[in-house]
Amino acid sequence: DAGVTQSPTHLIKTRGQHVTLRCSPISGHKSVSWYQQVLGQGPQFIFQYYEKEERGRGNFPDRFSARQFPNYSSELNVNALLLGDSALYLCASSLGGKVGNTIYFGEGSWLTVV
């Protein structure tokens, strides 16, 4: 079975532009979370969605938004990109509904803002 898949794997954007990152969870998983990992640091929680509803939001500005689709895939959108948004963006999925369910991560999308 396929794991968590993310696209694109690498991208370069210019300051002020907008970016959309995509994530497909493991088949059967209904919960998707997004994390930002700046080089040399641990991942920081951005959003969690379960059954197409936002269930949690980290300490990120309103330039960051996300949504989950009926097939449980998800998009992370970032507007008005800043140099500091350069990072690895990780998507994670789990069955959802129970806090004990294991969380599985994708390989991430590398975003470079120039």
Partner 1 sequence: AQTVTQSQPEMSVQEAETVTLSCTYDTSESDYYLFWYKQPPSRQMILVIRQEAYKQQNATENRFSVNFQKAAKSFSLKISDSQLGDAAMYFCAYRSTGGTSYGKLTFGQGTILTVHP
Q: Does 103 sit near partner 1 (CB under 8 A)?
A: yes
Query: Interface with partner 1 by CB under 8 A: which range of 14-22, 60-68, 72-80, 95-103?
Result: 95-103
Q: Are 92 and 105 in contact (CB under 8 A)?
A: yes
Q: Select 48 or 81, whichever has its Cβ closest to partner 1.
A: 48
Phi, psi of 54 (to 5 degrees): -70, 130
Q: Are 93 and 103 in contact (CB under 8 A)?
A: yes
Q: CA-to-CA distance for 47 and 65, rounded, in angstroms?
A: 8
Q: CA-to-CA distance for 84 and 74, rounded, in angstroms?
A: 23
**# chain residues binding partner 1, by CB under 8 A:** 32
In the list 33, 36, 68, 74, the residue contacting partner 1 (rule: CB under 8 A) is 33
In the list 32, 66, 87, 113, the residue contacting partner 1 (rule: CB under 8 A) is 32
Query: Interface with partner 1 by CB under 8 A: which range of 16-24, 41-49, 60-68, 76-84?
Result: 41-49
Q: Does 73 sit near partner 1 (CB under 8 A)?
A: no
Distances (CA, A) of 71 to 25, 48, 61, 92: 9, 16, 27, 15
Which residues of this protein are in contact with partner 1, per CB under 8 A? Answer: 31-33, 35, 40-45, 48, 50, 55-56, 58, 88, 90, 92, 94, 96-108
